Structure 1
Amino acid sequence: MTFARANSIECLATLPRMPDWVTSGRAETPEDVAFLSGAALAQLDQVLARHEVPKTLLRERLALRAAEASVSFSGRSERTRDLRDAVHLLRPGDLPGPAGGDYLAWRCAAERPVSITALSRAVPTLEREQIAMWLDAGQGAPVSRAAMVLEMVLTDAPREELSALILTDAALAQALGWDYLVPLLAQGLNRADLRKRGEDLRRACHRAIISSAAEAVRLSAGLARRTAHLKAVAPKLRAKAAKQAVEIFLTRDAVTPSALPLPDRAARRLCDRLIALGAVRELTGRETFRIYGV
């Protein structure tokens, strides 16, 4: 084992983990729930500060999970595989459909630093002035501020659940001093939570953060290991533009061969080679229209 490889493994082993007492405790009082959600966010903040964590890829993967939650809130049945197909198998001029549109909105929200301009691209049904007003109105600690934004958007625009959830995570990111929106709250809330208001909604948001931040920490560790392995095997690739192709895999949740900077046949061979090296996975289980990811 090379020194660089051994050093990489050692660094990954020291990634902060979510303490068991954060997720296994039975918090009943508002104070206890708020304390545990704060502890979960603090641990996630430490993880996001580590250079080993592929943060762009992590946000893409969390955006997919947030989209799945958003779709379920609207009563639709699409899940991970359907959402990937709806976006990554689009042909020029095709529309992604409602579920694919939700997924694209979350990806758009998470791919650029948080700003009114970036958020208006993700939720174009809302006016920029309205977005700014809602984000500025949130007050208090990070989760309380996010819950306040969620309540205001759902009160003023009850049909804009997707937009409300995106703006809620944007408010949380701003309150925490994060440059980018990290999709967290949608996957921790349920449909009934979106009908709550006041203290009940704040408590639901705190509980959502406990579970979703713990999942983000776990996912970060897994992605860090897999991307470290991909980087380690990259020198074995002989295809032209292999370096650029690896960079795409390091930043995207899912990739089709046509998205790689190679001719179609060469791109497919590269994907097969990466699978043989254990660096990427085929995500669909199909023989055609295959999609790959770390």
Structure 2
Amino acid sequence: MTYAADSFDILPRIPSWVISKHSKIPEDVAFMSGAALSHLHLVLAMPAIPQDLLRARLALKAAEVCVTHSGRPERTAELRDAVGFLQPGDSPGPAGEIILSWHRAVERPVTVKGLHRALRHVETDQIATWLDGCDPRGAGQGGPVARAATVFQAVIEEHPRDYTVSLLLADAALAQALGWTHIRPLLALGLKRADLQKSGEELRLACHQAISSTAAQVTREASDLARRAARVKEVAPKLRAKGAEEAVALFLSRDAVAPTALASLRSDRAARRFCDRLVELGVIHELTGRDTFRLYGI
């Protein structure tokens, strides 16, 4: 069984004028980012979206951006490997720590305790000071985007070149100001390397521009994952393997899954057969291109 990639649209597309890059006037740019956030807010509330999977996919992309900013060579494949086969007690390495930070940050509701769990080398009191330095509702700070820019600038001044901490906390501040329960890495995906050196009004303008472009990217990703998740759910009742329901749930919550993680299927051999069956049905893909140590994802 196979499916046409564009057989139907699940989510509304963001209007083209919202992501227009013609205007450089600060008021226009701020208006566009507000419209983009409003559209994204509605899209993310739609039940068709596999929220855990979307956040995991965005976390991977954010980690790759941060790894690139830090000058490291690892990209998507290496980052997936860094966490996909990690065993208790293993060291994930510098790049692995970055993607683990993002994964931990998006998994749980955005709180100071949860952020400390993601950024273990940063003290809880320090995280609270940065986030509490601005009104969580954005009042008096020019709105959610301005608040996020303020947090980014405060963090980067104390932790120069630690882009994971500064971008992650900026996106946490944005989520809090928007009333979102979980982080979606918008600024991490949208800010360019040159933007990270800006401050004040220039930084706020760059954040507004980043929001407009990233909102469209996230909407496309959400729509794609909603289609893919619908296909998986259509096939799921036909799967007869014992433990199939739990295994399907794992694919709907993780960017990449190793067969060894499918504990509900009782054996590695059964897990590999189950993954191969889902590939045959066209609802998941093998992500590595390898014959061994494979990873699978929707």
Shorter-chain TM-score bucket reads over 0.9
Aligned to 2:294: 290
**Higher deviation after alignment, 203-212 or 103-112:** 203-212
TM-score of the aligned structures, taking structure 2 as reference length: 0.93
Give the aligned residue type for 2:72: R
Report matched runs for 1:97-176 at 5 Å.
Answer: 97-138=93-134, 139-176=141-178
Aligned to 2:261: 259
Match of 2:40 among 44, 47, 50: 44
2:171–2:185 contact (8 Å) kept in structure 1: yes
1:64–1:103 contact (8 Å) kept in structure 2: yes
Match of 2:238 among 236, 239, 255: 236
User: What is the CA-CA distance between 1:162 and the residue it aligns to?
Assistant: 1.1
Identical-pair percentage: 59
User: What is the CA-CA distance between 1:212 and the residue it aligns to?
Assistant: 1.1
1:18–1:214 contact (8 Å) kept in structure 2: yes
1:188–1:209 contact (8 Å) kept in structure 2: yes
1:16–1:46 contact (8 Å) kept in structure 2: no
User: What is the CA-CA distance between 1:156 and the residue it aligns to?
Assistant: 2.2
CA–CA separation in structure 2 for the residues paired with 1:287 and 1:154: 43
Q: Name the CA shift for 1:97/1:156 in 2 (closer, same or farther; >3 Å).
A: same
> Once the two structures are superposed, what CA deviation does each residue of 1:57-104 show, in whole Å capped at 9, x if it has no partner?
100000000000000110011111110011112234221111111000
Structure with the largest fraction of helix = 1
> Once the two structures are superposed, what CA deviation does each residue of 1:132-161 show, in whole Å capped at 9, x if it has no partner?
111122333011110010001111222432
Aligned to 1:86: 82
TM-score of the aligned structures, taking structure 1 as reference length: 0.94
CA–CA separation in structure 2 for the residues paired with 1:285 and 1:123: 32
Q: Name the CA shift for 1:271/1:14 in 2 (closer, same or farther; >3 Å).
A: closer
Report matched runs for 1:199-210 at 5 Å.
Answer: 199-210=201-212
CA–CA separation in structure 1 for the residues paired with 2:103 and 2:73: 20
CA–CA separation in structure 1 for the residues paired with 2:90 and 2:133: 38
User: What is the CA-CA distance between 1:14 and the residue it aligns to?
Assistant: 5.0
What is the SS of the residue equivalent to 2:294? coil
Structure 1 segments, 4+ long, off by >3 Å, are none
Report matched runs for 1:44-83 at 5 Å.
Answer: 44-83=40-79
User: What is the CA-CA distance between 1:251 and the residue it aligns to?
Assistant: 0.5
2:191–2:210 contact (8 Å) kept in structure 1: yes
Give the aligned residue type for 1:63: A
What is the SS of the residue equivalent to 1:240? coil
CA–CA separation in structure 1 for the residues paired with 2:14 and 2:95: 32
Aligned to 1:4: none
CA–CA separation in structure 2 for the residues paired with 1:157 and 1:99: 18
CA–CA separation in structure 1 for the residues paired with 2:97 and 2:73: 14
What is the SS of the residue equivalent to 2:73? coil
Aligned to 2:280: 276
CA–CA separation in structure 2 for the residues paired with 1:155 and 1:93: 33
Aligned to 1:5: none
**Higher deviation after alignment, 17-26 or 270-279:** 17-26
**Higher deviation after alignment, 99-108 or 32-41:** 32-41
**Structure 2: gaps spanning 5 or more residues:** 1-5, 135-140
Give the aligned residue type for 1:153: V
2:30–2:205 contact (8 Å) kept in structure 1: yes
CA–CA separation in structure 1 for the residues paired with 2:213 and 2:97: 26
